[in-house]
């Protein structure tokens, strides 16, 4: 933790999934699943019994985590990753920070993650499997995003969605990725070696992120790849920045979808 702080690094944090203590536990940054969001948060200050991190933010919106909420997170240094459990203590706004911060309990210990599977003292987390298409004409996203917006608003209002299957933009062949984390302006995705060749030919993609059984309308958006790197298993990690150039109104719907997913995760934990 001290090494990460001194390098101006980040923690990856998610709300712990409620479940049986005897159930198998998996690495939240390695398990492919359905709906848990992992946030990449910059460390602001490190103290003897707590760590101060920037609050979760996406597209200019700060997302609140309740005090006392159980968390599971990870520290990454190079190719090595350690997991830990923690608890949200309080919200703070120090003068030295760029925005709202959260104080988290410093973990008693961290556990090095295995490449594929690890048991830790935390409930199971499942990362969304994302559908990704090369976007051949960004202007064609308007109808698709407008239909998605209408479907989400109808779902929130409890009314029926009409019009059949939503339209698709002009795209190339689909491939799958894993949603690794959510950041200020986009997401981090992991692409398996067999699907990574397309990254050398395209930089703009249409992405669809399922948010779980309680969120029947997926998050869809245009994304631009802003950086990539390979891990030791030849999997490609890509940083994707959301782009709302052709339909700015869709940005607010994406914010609302993420906000609802955060609220539901906390309700699920409390119940």
Q: 16 near 72, Cβ under 8 Å?
A: yes
Specify the 3-state DSSP secondary structure of 262.
helix
Q: Pull the structure tokens for residue 50.
A: 């707590």
Residue 119, pLDDT score: 34
The structure's pTM equals 0.84
* Burial class of residue 267, CB neighbours in 10 A (0-12, 13-18, 19+): exposed
* CATH number for position 153: 2.40.10.220
Specify the 3-state DSSP secondary structure of 154.
helix
Same-domain pairing of 174 and 255: yes
Question: Of 53, 78, 112, which one is at a domain's C-terminal end?
Answer: 112
Residue 21, pLDDT score: 39
> Cα(230)–Cα(211) distance, rounded to whole angstroms?
26
Q: Roughly how many angstroms between the first and final C-alpha of the chain, as a whole number?
A: 31
Residue 125, pLDDT score: 64
pLDDT per residue as tens, the chain (271 positions): 777 777 778 899 999 876 533 333 444 444 333 468 999 999 999 888 899 999 999 999 999 999 999 998 888 776 677 888 899 999 999 887 788 999 999 887 677 665 433 333 334 567 889 999 999 999 999 999 999 999 999 999 988 776 677 899 999 999 999 999 998 899 999 999 999 999 999 999 999 999 987 888 999 999 999 999 998 889 999 999 999 999 999 999 999 999 999 998 888 776 6
Residue 165, pLDDT score: 79
Domain extent for 25: 2-112
* CATH number for position 95: 2.30.110.10
> Cα(160)–Cα(146) distance, rounded to whole angstroms?
16
Same-domain pairing of 158 and 95: no
Q: Which residues fall within 8 angstroms of residue 78, CB to CB, at 6 or more apart?
A: none
Backbone phi, psi, residue 63, to 5°: -110, 130
Residue 164 CB neighbours (<10 A): 7
* Burial class of residue 19, CB neighbours in 10 A (0-12, 13-18, 19+): middle
Q: Which residues fall within 8 angstroms of residue 66, CB to CB, at 6 or more apart?
A: 88, 266
Residue 124, pLDDT score: 52
Residue 118 inside a domain? The answer is: no
Residue 120 inside a domain? The answer is: no
Question: Of 47, 78, 112, which one is at a domain's C-terminal end?
Answer: 112
Residue 25, pLDDT score: 44
Q: How many domains does the chain have?
A: 2
């Amino acid at each position: 933790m001290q090494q990460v702080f001194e390098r101006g690094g980040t923690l990856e944090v998610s709300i712990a999934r409620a479940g049986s203590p005897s159930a198998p536990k998996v690495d939240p940054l390695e398990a492919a699943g359905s709906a848990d969001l992992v946030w990449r948060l910059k460390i602001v200050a490190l103290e003897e019994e707590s760590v101060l991190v920037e609050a979760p933010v996406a597209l200019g919106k700060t997302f609140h985590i309740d005090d006392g909420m159980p968390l599971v997170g990870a520290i990454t240094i190079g190719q090595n990753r350690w997991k830990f459990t923690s608890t949200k203590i309080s919200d703070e706004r120090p003068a030295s920070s760029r925005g709202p911060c959260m104080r988290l309990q410093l973990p008693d210990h961290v556990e090095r993650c295995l490449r594929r599977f690890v048991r830790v003292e935390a409930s199971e987390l499942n990362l969304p499997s994302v559908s990704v298409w090369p976007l051949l004409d960004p202007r064609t996203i308007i109808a698709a995003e407008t239909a998605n917006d209408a479907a989400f608003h109808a779902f929130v209002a409890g009314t029926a969605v009409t019009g059949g299957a939503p339209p698709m933009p002009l795209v190339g062949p689909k491939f799958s990725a894993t949603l690794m984390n959510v950041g200020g302006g986009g997401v981090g995705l992991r692409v398996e070696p067999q699907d990574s060749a397309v990254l050398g030919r395209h930089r703009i993609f249409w992405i669809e992120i399922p948010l779980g059984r309680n969120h029947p309308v997926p998050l869809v958006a245009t994304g631009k790849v802003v950086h990539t790197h390979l891990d030791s298993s030849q999997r490609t990690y890509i940083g994707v920045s959301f782009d709302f150039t052709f339909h700015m109104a869709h940005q607010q719907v994406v914010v609302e979808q993420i906000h609802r997913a955060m609220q539901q995760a906390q309700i699920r934990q409390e119940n």
